[in-house]
């Protein structure tokens, strides 16, 4: 399970790069960039850009939150990352409905997104428990 920076000695997490959530977020971002290269040219500043921004926001928020020292700040940034993931899922659904995402590409994006959602949800829960433990005497 991933932890906040303060517990890095126990978990081996020394950098945001060690977090599975960040790694999976980066993988998903690469898939999004690859998938959107086939969108219509007129979408360069539309849905393509929106999907790419939302995808990049996921690992970027994880890294920024980690860099702020953990605790409540980290949890808040992981929540923002999850929000960006949901935004990406919505954009992906629109692209599917428009016929721009299909087949193996669509499957990879959906699976990657669902897996990352589960990881982020677990991390948020873990950070919430850590936050509660900090308040105990």
Q: State pLDDT tens for residues 52-101.
A: 999 999 999 999 999 998 788 999 999 999 999 999 999 999 999 999 99
| Burial class of 76 by CB neighbour count within 10 A (0 to 12, 13 to 18, 19+) | middle
pLDDT value at residue 137: 45
**Which distant-in-sequence residues (6+ apart) come within 8 Å of 115 by Cβ?**
24
pLDDT grade for 6, boundaries at 50, 70 and 90: very low
Kindly state whether residue 9 falls inside one of the protein's structural domains.
no
Q: What is the rounded average pLDDT for all residues in the chain?
A: 88
Kindly state whether residue 42 falls inside one of the protein's structural domains.
yes
Rg (CA), the chain: 16
Kindly state whether residue 88 falls inside one of the protein's structural domains.
yes
Kindly state whether residue 39 falls inside one of the protein's structural domains.
yes
Q: Check which CATH number belongs to the domain holding 90 and give it.
A: 1.20.1440.60
pLDDT value at residue 69: 80
Kindly state whether residue 2 falls inside one of the protein's structural domains.
no
Bigger pLDDT: 52 or 128? Answer: 52
Rounded CA separation 36/91 (Å)? 11
Kindly state whether residue 3 falls inside one of the protein's structural domains.
no
Hunting for tokens 């897996």 — which residue is that?
115
The total of structural domains in the chain comes to: 1
**56 lies in which domain range?**
17-135
Rounded CA separation 115/81 (Å)? 14
Residue 55 has which token pair?
A: 């995808």
Kindly state whether residue 90 falls inside one of the protein's structural domains.
yes
pLDDT value at residue 59: 98
Kindly state whether residue 95 falls inside one of the protein's structural domains.
yes
Instruction: Provide φ and ψ at 136, rounded to 5°.
Output: -70, 145
pLDDT value at residue 130: 61
């Amino acid at each position: 399970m991933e932890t906040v920076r303060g517990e890095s000695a126990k978990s081996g997490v020394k950098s945001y790069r060690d977090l599975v959530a960040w790694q999976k977020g980066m993988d998903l971002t690469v898939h999004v960039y690859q998938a959107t290269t086939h969108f219509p040219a007129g979408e360069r500043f539309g849905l393509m850009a929106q999907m790419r921004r939302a995808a990049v926001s996921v690992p970027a928020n994880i890294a920024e939150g980690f860099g702020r020292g953990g605790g409540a700040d980290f949890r808040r940034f992981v929540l923002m990352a999850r929000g960006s993931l949901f935004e990406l899922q919505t954009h992906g659904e629109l692209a599917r409905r428009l016929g721009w995402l299909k087949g193996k590409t669509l499957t990879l994006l959906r699976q990657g997104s669902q897996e990352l959602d589960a990881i982020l949800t677990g991390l948020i829960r873990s950070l919430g428990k850590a936050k509660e433990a900090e308040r105990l005497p």
